[in-house]
Homo-oligomer: A and B are copies of this chain.
């Protein structure tokens, strides 16, 4: 996966999940330092409708497999401070 591409793509996630992957809202999960494969599985599930959340289904709809790999790698790489 490509961390820089992940970082780029993640700019559209920062609004809810925080610039450093620590979210601004108690109902939205922190992503920093989460397990890479878990993040991948959830993004695929949101994209393919296996997991339903109005916001995330919309956000994930246009992600390619490569985007998902890169995003998962990027957020997993962030320190969990």
Contacts and interface: CB of A to CB of B under 8 A. Distances in A.
Interface of A: 23, 25-30, 32-38, 41, 50-52, 80-81
A37 B27 contact: yes
Nearest to A79: B80
Nearest to A38: B29
> Binding site of A, secondary structure by majority: helix, strand, loop or mixed?
loop
Given A80-B33, A81-B80, A26 B51 contact: no
Contacts of A50: 52
Nearest to A42: B29
A52 B50 CA distance: 8
A80 B52 CA distance: 27
